[in-house]
Amino acid sequence: MFVLVGCLQAQTHGIDVSKFQGEIDWAKVSKSKKVKFVYVRATEGTTIRDAYYKANVDSARKHKVLVGSYHVYSSKTTAYQQFANFKAVVSKKKQDLIPVLDIEGHHSGRLDMARVNKLLELMEREYGVKPMIYTSEQVYQEHFQGKRYRAYHIFIANYRGTPAVRYTLWQHSNKGRIPGIAGDVDLNRFHKKRGLNDIRMPKKVSKKESTTKNKKPDTAQQTVDTAKQVG
């Protein structure tokens, strides 16, 4: 298990998992003070769906671990095809955290940004929030430094040291050890100025609350009340 010292102990930490971690004992994972949230691999490209996705999401949430889902970007298929795959697997009502678009470092220098932008747009339209972009520092510097992406949270993978670029989440190790998970697992922590509230899904507004907020004032009653005050 990884050890943190000093002020880092007070930070919120999380992990990300996929079928490569095999069957996870979420009861044990949830007892770790170092795991408050998890990002679970849902899909990749057009046809790949993680075999452990549903079990991981359901069990993690059952044990009070906050859950988000990620899609691994492919350069071989369209944004519409990839989004359809993600949407078919990821239920909005089971998401505690905003979705993530995972763009691996091997895409450096050859990203079709029109396709990326369309996929981000489709995910935002469906889930009601801008997705977080996971990538390497190199890909970020090549493609995501522009004004267009300032409103997006960035999730940077760097196992050698603190990222030198803007980020919300930092995947600082792929060799973490957590009770309940056999073998290595990715470890993530927030920028010192960021936290869980930055990546939570928007709060749902009930129909009752919405009706109350949008209810127009009774102008007839207002007239009577005004007359009483004047008289």
Q: What is the pLDDT of residues 83-123, one digit of tens each?
A: 999 999 999 999 999 999 999 988 877 899 999 999 999 99
Considering just the CA atoms, what is the radius of gyration of the chain in Å?
Answer: 21
Using CA atoms, how far residue 62 sits from 24, 57, 171, in Å, is 13, 8, 25
Taking residues 203-223, what's their average pLDDT? 51
Domains of the chain: 6-230 (3.20.20.80)
* pLDDT > 90? residue 7: no
Q: What is the pLDDT of residues 134-148, one digit of tens each?
A: 999 999 999 999 999
> Can you give the pTM of this predicted structure?
0.84
pLDDT at position 208 is: 56
When pLDDT is averaged across residues 49-56 and rounded to a whole number, the result is 98
Of 80, 78, 76, 72, nearest to 105 (Cα)?
A: 72
